[in-house]
Homo-oligomer: A and B are copies of this chain.
């Protein structure tokens, strides 16, 4: 389960000390590694806090999400009840529909609560939004059954993020109320020819998560809502480079291993890593996102 130490900032100005790289020289710092200085300086000067909606440089991108109770076969022969996001007029699903927006757009996501429980929409990883758009009970709006609320923010940085309900999180998130939220850079040709989003989760197929008390004993590991052997195959043709976006919306640490190839880990939590690294096993903990490049090869590797 995700744990949040409460960080409660208050508007107040403050003089920073002289820019000194902490205690770097005495702590194993590499002389000449000026990239370190650059990264820290960049962090200290990047915009922080709410980006006013008027600062959008592109048009408005609107989505509407409803909430439905559905029955899904997550393991062959195992049907579970889920609370699922869906576009109006389309079947709801776990994960909910992927929302894709572009840097510069003003994003409007209207949550129409067609369910019998209160819900919110937390935009996991989006930092340009105002507090009332953060989708956390008590600090922003709760959307009661029959109610609606429109979450708005300006997309400012490309990256892999997620949305999920944050109301009684351990229950609502576990019931399947999550989906991917991808922010794309509009003016660049990516180095990958195709991309895939894989959302990880676990399920206790023997227990209805809506029945309290809820202390799950997970027995199914889900990728995009399905457990093996219902997980669809991911095909990467030889000669192609694909981007795989991993999003962990579950509660347990996982270790993802690919056969027959090593991948390049290029981003974590929607931020490019300063230096990508090669690996064939990716540890991922709840709430994390990783972008990895995978190149196709001959043969079929499970």
Which A residues lie at the B interface, using CB under 8 A?
Answer: 2-24, 26-36, 38-40, 42-44, 46, 48-50, 103, 122, 124-125, 127, 129-131, 134, 136, 139, 157-159, 184-185, 188-193, 198, 221, 223, 231-241, 244, 253-262, 264, 266-281, 283, 285-289, 293-302
8 Å CB contact of A274 from B33, B189, B289: B33
* A138 nearest CB neighbor, chain B only: B302
What are 28 of the A-B contact pairs (CB < 8 Å)? A2-B257, A4-B256, A5-B244, A5-B256, A6-B233, A8-B301, A14-B296, A16-B191, A20-B190, A23-B159, A26-B157, A26-B158, A27-B185, A27-B271, A27-B272, A36-B275, A44-B191, A49-B298, A49-B299, A127-B297, A130-B298, A139-B302, A253-B253, A254-B285, A255-B288, A257-B287, A262-B271, A269-B278
CB contact under 8 A between A157 and B193, given known A43-B276, A253-B253: no
CB of B257 within 8 A of CB of A4, answer yes
- Residues of chain B contacted by A238 (CB below 8 angstroms): 9-13, 48-49
CB contact under 8 A between A235 and B275, given known A3-B255, A191-B16: no
